[in-house]
Structures are given as C-alpha cells and as structure tokens.
Amino acid sequence: MGFEEYDAKCAEMTIEQLQLEWEHYTRVAYGSGTSTAVAGLAIPFTLGVSILGMIFSAPINHNARKKREIIETHFKSRGETPVTRKRDTVLPVVISGTVGVVGIGVSAVGAEAILANGVEYGVQAAAEEKIAAKVVSHVAVDAVAVSGEHAHARHKRAKQAEKRLA
C-alpha cells in the first residue's frame, strides 16, 4: 500500500484505530532503527555481512516513520495528540538489540570461518558457500524479528476489535 492510499485509509479511521496504528508504527520504527544501528556498528566484526541487516531494516524504518507522520497529521486535523507509551519504545529496542547482538555473534563466527577457510585452502568456492550461509542466517534472524512484530500487531488489533464488539 502506497503512502497516498494509507493516508486515505487513515482519513476513515476513528481516533482509537489511529492510536493503534500509531502504537504499531512506533514499535516498528524503534525496532527497525535499532536493527539498522546495530547492523551498521557490526560491519567491521562481520566482515560486511551485517550490511544486509541495514539493507533489510532501513526501508522498514523509513516506511514506519512516514506512516507515523501521516497518522500524526490525522490526529492534528482532529485536534488530538497521539500517545506514545514507554513499552512501545523500550521493548522493540531491547528485542531488536538482543536479536542484533545474537546475529552479530552468528555472523562474526561465520566471518571467521570464511576467512580461515579462504586463507587455509585458498578456495574461492568454499568462501562463497560460507558467505551465502551467513547471508541467509542474518536475513533469517532479522525476518524473525520483523514477523514477530507483525504477528503481535495483528493479535492486538483482533483483541481491540473483540472489545469494541462486546
């Protein structure tokens, strides 16, 4: 969904729905921002493999921030202010930071293995195979974190819908 379509969707939402969207995209922005930062800091330790985390997380962060701007515009047009809860900022940072550090450990071990195999045997194919394995594992760790946030958001929206119907 493009930003124009999302803006039109937000125009039809209630304040409660806008607040839920605000909370969701706050978590996404903080989590992906942390992932981007951790991946950037890890580049030297992972021999560049962690740059994939940056490539994966940076667009997610941009999208979340842009959607927060759209949501905030709709709040302001109705004379309201979104509420940012501490748990929507702290928890994603902790989770993304932990996943990032685990990913760095996995990537660093893999990078050492790549370097050792490449130097010891001088076989480019072995190094490429190890790099491919590290790329897949790093992307998988990041994907698990993002999919967990999306599953949490879907569950929370379903619970809110049940409360409104009851």
**Residues lower than pLDDT 50 in the chain:** 114, 118-119, 121-123, 125-127
CA–CA distance, 56 with 63 (Å, rounded to integer): 12
138 and 103 in contact (C-beta within 8 Å)? yes
Helix axes 51-77, 3-11, angle to 10 degrees: 30
51 and 43 in contact (C-beta within 8 Å)? yes
CA–CA distance, 60 with 29 (Å, rounded to integer): 7
CA–CA distance, 139 with 33 (Å, rounded to integer): 16
Give pLDDT, residue 47: 73
pTM score of the predicted model? 0.67
Domain boundaries, the chain: 3-165
Look-up of token digits 């501490």: 86
